[in-house]
Amino acid sequence: MENQRIVIVGAGVFGLSTALHLAQNGFSSVTVVDRAMPPVPDGSSNDISRVIRFDYGDKVYAQLGKEAYDLWNTPEYAASFHQTPCVWTAQRSSTANAGVQAGGSDFIRKTKAILDDLGLEWHDLAHVDALKSRFPAVAGRPIGEGFEGFYNNAAGWADAGVAIANLRDRCISAGVSFITGARGHVSSLEHGSDGKTITALRTIDGSTITGDRFILATGAWTATLVPAWNSMVATAQIVGFVRLTPAEIAALRDLPIIFNLSTGFFSFPPHEQSGYLKVACHSFGYTLSSTKSMDSVSISSPPTKAIPARANFIPGEGQERLLAGLRDVLPDLARRGFEKTCLCWYNETPTGDFIFDYHPDYTNLFIATGGTGHAFKFLPVIGKYIAGAFQRKLSPELTQKWKFRTEYRDRPREELFTGDRSRKGGDGSRGGPGRREFTPEERDTLLSLTNALAERQSRL
């Protein structure tokens, strides 16, 4: 297999980390293709910050997160990693507001138990005043009545763009090839006469890229290329950026990462290089539905055009949710509002688990997707596990956890990804209102802004 031509579609965390691991372990022909050289401007792996933590309500991800965290703290990742405590807060289920998912209590309980089981330290926060005493930069009163929480000093954030650029350069040094631009923008897959193999990738400029084995690490765009059978859905999550003065950056330097598990809101410390304070919601998100799929069923996917930056758009009620969360932490900044907003696209699975498995229809097509909004932190180690699955060398436990599931094929997407099952899935760290489709007006605005950015890109 080491002499076969391996073609990886997608230059994010999954694609690049897999490419590096394969190239370092004897695979002589590894090529990564994408619409742009990484960091890809609108890819979910590109931004100013991503949370690095091993606090999980799932033991497998807690162990994997600790393995990755230890590597983030090595000189190899010093340019991108910033150690910062991570605070988890929630409104106890009995006092949660009507209509808001109150899953935070379960997450806190399960995570503490797993950290104890692994012999890892955490620190209790008995009430909101304990939070404000430990972290004086918090000017507001998060949660208030019914507060519960804890924090972990062994956490931090990574500058995502810097981390991906470094990973890209390591891939190049290891001998990985890249195809980008129109010739790297994959539009479809070509099938062999047996119907069981993929022979080539077709790109938007009409050319083809041949290979022996193919890996789709295409995130939220995956279901536009292969039948997904309700094993995944693309959702848009809301992000906001507040412009800070140099004095504010200095004053907020000790601000921790703060999660409100009841609403999904979370915030980062200042990003000194850009001058922004970033906030977001790890929630249930929005779908953008179409029928562009291999099995002609309705799917959700982001816009597919190559753009130089994410569109400055989130729904109006999403902006209000971000401002409400910011008021709980830094009320003065909430009054200022956001200089820009954007959408970050997750590729969700019903259980919150990744998909690292061969596609059931094709013998030489491997799927590495389903990041579900929590994959970036595993950048230093995830390629090892994806490559292990690709070579069929994973443990039975992990093989089962990350398999491509076909049992959802005849289930309504709404049941899997919108109702109570979805809200209870994953590690319980989601909060806020349920998932919904963009309204026609929101859809038109998003697509109009995206088209304008694509036209600008074409003129560059």
Q: What's the CA gap between 46 and 39, in Å, rounded?
A: 6
The amino acid sitting at 431 is G
Residue found under tokens 């000093």: 153
Asked if 245 and 36 count as a contact pair (C-beta separation under 8 A), the reply is: no
| Residues 13/164, Cβ–Cβ less than 8 Å | yes
pLDDT band at 56 (very low <50, low <70, confident <90, very high): very high
* Cβ proximity of 216 and 225 under 8 Å: yes
**Quick one: pLDDT at residue 10?**
98
Lowest mean pLDDT among 230-244, 425-439, 442-456: 425-439
Give the C-alpha separation, 293 to 203, whole Å: 16
Determine the average pLDDT of the residues in 207-212: 98
CA 116 to chain centre: 27
Q: Is the pLDDT of residue 418 over 70?
A: no
Q: Return the pLDDT at 424.
A: 46
- pLDDT tens for each residue of 300-314: 999 999 999 999 999
Domain 5-459 has CATH 3.90.1170.50: no
Identify the sign of the CA torsion 320, 321, 322, 323.
Answer: positive
For the chain, the structural domain boundaries read: 5-459
pLDDT-derived band at 99 (thresholds 50, 70, 90) equals very low
Mean pLDDT along residues 83-100:
75
CA gap 284, 373 in Å, rounded: 10
Mean pLDDT of the chain, nearest integer: 93
Does 420 have pLDDT greater than 90?
no
- Mean predicted confidence (pLDDT) in 333-362: 97
